[in-house]
Structure 1
Amino acid sequence: MSATCRSWIGRFSVAIKSASFVSTNLIVRYRTGCGHMRDAFAVTMAQAGHHFLVAEVEGEPIGYVWMQEVTSASNAFKNATRTLYVRQISINPSHQRFGYGRQMMGYVEKWARAHDFPTIELDYWVANEDAARFYDELGFIAKRQVVVKSVETKENEKWRP
């Protein structure tokens, strides 16, 4: 995945391209600044089936998408699956609400189509109403719901999600 998709949002030139460790490292700085996150990115980027895209505005990285190819064989309980899973999408807070996330997800969709993935899946926290609205506008529909119940144990008084 080495192609660059270049377009314009307003007066800004936006490039979406394969991420290198250096460009992803620059993005990680605004998220936490933690070395352990940079190390995790480096390990994940080297794994087969994981793809990182970076969005740049005027040459400056402003966001990224982490995608994973997910396939599973059929068994007695489920059908075979082949989906492109968006593990993370993140846009620098100073660049949010300008259409960059929408543009990156459009590129993800084109990539999925070009590589014969029939679906794109992702998840987000139920309390993230902005994400719910964003993905709804992009045509995503709920497929499965996960529920959690806190259980008291000897090791912890009560786990809270």
Structure 2
Amino acid sequence: MQSIQTLHAEAHPEVFKPILDPIPSAFFADLLSDPRNIVLMAEYDQAVVGYLWCQEHPPADSFYEVSAHTGYINHVAVDVARRRRGIGQALVEAAVAELESRGATRVGVDFWSFNAPARAFFAGLGFAAQRQVCVRQLA
């Protein structure tokens, strides 16, 4: 997934490292130990070519939001050489189906504003913008 890291690092070097550090196995162990997490992998020829990490958020009382059972896609990535073959769509749809089976009524995702392919991908899957996050760099 270095190609995705490079794309992000070129657009925002103040945020992203140019070289993706090896992901510690403890990261995935922590994810898999929490039943609210949905972690999916796509394989081709015994190699991982894509993955998705989604988190379920059961309803919670809030003084400002309607209580809702939701999900949030934290990461989704497909190897550049395997894109446009339905892998990303299959990962997202599998996560959505799992969230629906758990009673969720909405799922969210975000992506960086420079990432036009991600914008088109998620729009094609029925995702619509609800908010915009702005950042101001400080000294």
Deviations 1:53-104 (A, max 9, x none): 1112244321111111113422322221211111101112221222211121
Structure 2 match to 1:110: 97
RMSD: 2.4
Consecutive aligned runs of 4 or more in structure 1 exceeding 4 Å deviation: 30-33
Structure 1 match to 2:43: 56
Which one of the candidate residues 30, 41, 46 is aligned to 1:43?
30
The answer to whether 1:134 aligns with 2:125 is no
Letter in 1 for 2:38: H
User: Unaligned regions of 5+ residues in structure 2, if any?
Assistant: 6-18
Q: Is the 8 A contact 2:54 2:75 kept in 1?
A: yes
- Measured after TM superposition, the shift of residue 108 of structure 1 is 1.7
> SS state of the match for residue 69, structure 2?
strand
Deviations 1:90-136 (A, max 9, x none): 11222122221112112122222222111111111111111001011
Structure 2 match to 1:81: 68
1 CA distance for matches of 2:24 and 2:110?
A: 20
The percentage of aligned residue pairs carrying the same residue is 23
* Residues 150 and 47 of structure 1, relative CA distance in 2, 3 Å threshold: same
Structure 2 match to 1:121: 108
TM-score by length of 1: 0.67
User: Unaligned regions of 5+ residues in structure 1, if any?
Assistant: 1-26, 152-157
Q: Is the 8 A contact 2:38 2:95 kept in 1?
A: no
2 CA distance for matches of 1:145 and 1:136?
A: 15
Question: Any residues of structure 2 matched to 1:88-103 within 5 Å, and which?
Answer: 88-103=75-90
* Residues 37 and 90 of structure 1, relative CA distance in 2, 3 Å threshold: farther
* Residues 37 and 94 of structure 1, relative CA distance in 2, 3 Å threshold: farther
More strand by share: 1
Letter in 1 for 2:131: R
Asked which structure has the greater RCO (Cα within 8 Å, sep 6+), the reply is: 2
Question: Which moved further from structure 2: 74-83 or 34-43?
Answer: 34-43
TM-score by length of 2: 0.76
